[in-house]
Amino acid sequence: MKGFNRNFIKHITAASLVSVACFVSADSHADLWIIANAEAKVDDLSRSEVRQIFMGGTLSRKFTAIALPAGSDVRNQFNVDIIGLTESRIQAYWSQLLFTGRSTPPMEMASVNDAVRHVSEHDNTIAYVPEQTQLPDNVVVVYER
Amino acid sequence: MPAQNLTRFMALALCTATFAGTNSSFAASLEDSVSVSGFGRVVGGYLNTDQAEFRGYSDHINLDPKSLIGLQVHAQANDYLSVTAQGVLRANDTQDSELDWLYATIQPEDNLSIKVGKLRTPFFMLSDVIDVGYAYHWISPPEQMYSAYLFPTFEGIDATWGYFSNGFDTSFEAYIGQHEGDITLNNRTTDYDVDTLGGLIASTRYGNVQLRASFHQGDVDIALSELDLLAGSVSRFNSFPKTVDALSTQSVINVTQLGIRYDDLNYFAAAEWVNINPDVQTFIPEIDTYYLTGGYIFDDITLHLTYAESDLSYDDFPNEVASALANMNPLDPRYQGLAGINYGLNQIESSRSSDSLKSWTLGVRWDVQPKLAVKGEVTWLRGDRNESAMFNSIDDDFDRTTELYQVGVEWIF
């Protein structure tokens, strides 16, 4: 009986540790929303479409990408989860496009609120924000990560 | 470079580096429609031998060959039209500091972009961005490919059409134009004209994989009076048409390129192959060159390794002159003239530089902060003892084996 109890407690402890770990990791890795002005008339975008828009691909001529400042947590998460490259590699890539006249880097907004406001006020603009960000009626989520 | 020039260059370099250090926005907006941006690099190099020089480097630390500052001004007239100018000031005073780019961009629709003006020729993956060291991991992209004799800029028109479908972002680019400049062949710099040059580039990007294939052609006329003189003398004999053709200073040069690059969060790999094929190969060599490179990225540090190789070859002159001479009586009145021509042909053959070279490069890039990187690299150069192997001022007993050390600071603003 004692042995059973000890095992039972061990299992409970392990299970609760695992669930706490899951909770913590989910929390530290909040999801991202890609938002667009409703006038852009896109219901949803794929990850590779988002990537092309933010990396100066052909689609970036149709949509204007809005970024957050280098070093911000949301931007770092966007770099890793959506683009799949480090900040410095992305900067190097953009210098290549900028100085060959192929494209210009996304416009930077100082804060998430500024980004949302800009998207709300400009057609065909796209930005990334943390999930559950308060959005005005004319801004829609087009991709969730 | 004169001391005064160096001072001016260093002052400008410091000035723009400070600008980069303030972490200002990528392009400083003067007004909404005009933006100014730029790039700079200060690179020091040391060649570990006193028996030769390599691309401007010797056994003294030298900042001149690669240090430069570039400034770009971009003015957006409206949604469809913009004008861009880019000038580069080089520390090396033998290279012209001039406007490398000056063009108008017209974007009639989302998928099409047309540039008209003076543009950099987009031969290889990094050709049009070679001055912006911040854009790539090396200090020196493989010299075997990126310093090959070619036409760095052209005046003309370039159209790029892009299409996105099923995750593939594909673009087709076509350009046509002309170029006047100087070319360094066989350690000699001469004027040349490219009446018509053009190219087609197809590239596609899928996720973090990028593929690029291109074909380029130029109709080159090199100002080499001794070749013209020799061709004139040969043609007076009226019996050596192949030799006259082989002495032509006009040649069509074909360039074929294939490249692939893969990028990931923690590593990257790339390979590129190029063939440069002139239709007259007696004085201008055919070049086959490729490199393989890869690197590992942890935090702000990138460690990379590259192998590069080039193979140059020339055609010999037709032996019709030599064999005619062998069968001729030395008392024949034509003998002296023909012997002179044969001597001239041999002289040309022996003066051609054979620049095949193998190299390994191990380098590190530290991204200190966004827009500012510090780099260091060692290149092991391995040439053939019988060839110039891209070296110059070579001592007789130099074995064409040495190391090039470079350190550099790169920034954009």
ipTM given for this complex: 0.86
- Overall average pLDDT of the B100-108 stretch: 92
User: Tens digits of per-residue pLDDT, B266-317?
Assistant: 999 999 999 999 998 988 899 999 999 999 999 899 999 999 999 999 999 9
The token pair that represents B253 in the structure block: 């040069």
First to last CA, chain B: 26
Q: What pLDDT score does A30 carry?
A: 66
In the block, residue with structure tokens 């070749």: B227
- Three-class SS state of B246: helix
**Predicted local distance difference test score (pLDDT) of residue B188:** 76
Q: Which residues constitute the domain of residue A66?
A: 31-144
CATH number, domain of A100, equals 3.40.190.10
Parallel/antiparallel/unpaired status of strands A125-130 and A64-67 = parallel
| Position with higher pLDDT, A25 vs B135 | B135
Q: Which residue has the higher pLDDT, B14 or B48?
A: B48
Query: How much is the pLDDT for A85?
Result: 93
Which residue is it, tokens 């360094």? B184
B-chain residue closest to A108, CA distance: B25
Is some CB atom of chain A closer than 8 A to the CB atom of B103? Answer: yes
Decide if A58 and B27 are in contact by the 8 Å CB cutoff. Answer: no
On the question of pLDDT at B116 being above 90, the answer is yes
Burial class (CB in 10 A: 0-12, 13-18, 19+), B413: buried
Q: Parallel, antiparallel, or unpaired: how do β-strands B34-47 and B28-29 relate? A: antiparallel
Are residues A124 and A58 part of one domain?
yes
A23's CB contacts (< 8 A; 6+ apart) are: none
Q: Which fold has domain B38-62+137-314+352-412?
A: Porin (2.40.160)
A57 and A4 in a common domain: no
CB pairs under 8 A between A and B: 107
pLDDT reported for residue A47: 92
Alpha-carbon span A109 to A127, nearest angstrom: 10
**Using 50, 70 and 90 to split pLDDT, how confident is the model at B31?**
low
Residues A140 and A94 in one domain: yes
Is the pLDDT at B29 greater than 80, yes or no?
no
Residue B187 binned pLDDT confidence (cut-offs 50, 70, 90): confident
Looking at residue B117, what is its pLDDT?
96
Q: Residue written as tokens 């000699």?
A: B188
Q: Is the pLDDT of residue B23 over 50?
A: no
* Residue pLDDT, tens place only, B227-262: 888 999 999 888 899 999 999 989 999 999 999 999
Q: Are B84 and B105 in contact (CB under 8 A)?
A: yes
Q: Is B259 on the interface with A (CB under 8 A)?
A: no
Range in B83-87, B169-173, B187-191, B246-250 the model is least confident about? B187-191
Interface contact A96-B129, CB threshold 8 A = yes
Structural domain count of chain A: 2
- Is residue A66 located within the same domain as residue A109? yes
For B262, left (φ over 0), alpha (ψ -120 to 50), or beta? beta
To the nearest whole Å, the CA of A71 is away from the closest chain B CA by: 9
Q: What is the CA radius of gyration of chain B?
A: 24
Going residue by residue through chain A (145 aa), what tens digit of pLDDT does each one get? 444 455 555 555 544 444 444 444 444 456 999 999 988 778 789 999 999 999 999 888 889 999 999 999 999 999 999 999 999 999 999 999 999 999 989 999 999 999 999 999 999 999 999 999 999 999 999 999 8
Q: What is the DSSP letter of B353?
A: -
Query: Which pLDDT does position B12 carry in this prediction?
Result: 54
A70 and A104 in a single domain? The answer is yes
Res A5: pLDDT: 52
Average the pLDDT over B51-59 and give the result: 95
Shortest Cα–Cα distance, A14 to chain B (Å): 33
Same domain, A89 and A131: yes
Residue B181 has pLDDT above 80, yes or no: yes
Task: Report how far Cα A104 is from the mean position of its chain's Cα atoms.
Answer: 20
Question: CA of A95: which chain B residue's CA is closest?
Answer: B135
Give the closest of B132, B169, B207 to A99, CB-based.
B132
- Please list, in sequence order, all residues whose beta carbon lies within 8 angstroms of the beta carbon of residue B21, skipping any fewer than 6 positions away: B369, B372
Q: Given B105, B128, B169, which is nearest A58 (Cβ)? A: B169
Q: Is residue B97 very low, low, confident or very high in pLDDT (cuts 50, 70, 90)?
A: low
- Kindly state whether residues A21 and A62 are assigned to the same domain: no
Q: How far is B28 from chain A (nearest CA, A)?
A: 12
Cβ-Cβ contacts under 8 Å for A17 (sequence gap 6 or more): none
Same domain, A35 and A20: no
Quote the CA–CA distance of B32 and B74 in Å, as a whole number.
11
- pLDDT band for position B149 (cuts 50, 70, 90): confident
pLDDT (0 to 100) of residue B24: 44
Same-domain pairing of A20 and A85:
no
Percent of chain B with pLDDT strictly greater than 90: 68
Residue B95: pLDDT band (50, 70, 90) is low
- Does A110 contact chain B (CB < 8 Å)? no
Which pLDDT score is estimated for B13?
52
**Given this model, what pLDDT does residue B67 score?**
95
